[in-house]
Amino acid sequence: MTKSVGQVAKEVSKEVGGSVEVCGYLRVECGEGLEKKVDDFAEEVARMSGK
C-alpha cells in the first residue's frame, strides 16, 4: 500500500490534533553517490617499483 505525502499529512494532523504542513522534502536513495574504488594491484606494484 502506498500513500501520498498529503494523505500522511492529513493522518498525522488528526493524530496530533493540529495542522501539519510539509515545507520540503529530500529524496535519498541507498547507495546513491557512492562510487566503489577499483584498484589494479599489478599497476600499483609496478608504479612503486619504478617500472
Lowest-pLDDT choice from 6-10, 17-21, 26-30, 37-41: 26-30
Q: List, in order, residues 6 or more apart from 45 with CB less than 8 Å away.
A: none
Total-model pTM: 0.45
Of 20 and 1, which is predicted with more confidence? Answer: 20
User: Residue 10 burial (CB < 10 Å; 0-12/13-18/19+)?
Assistant: middle
Please give the Cα distance from 13 to 21 (Å, whole number).
9
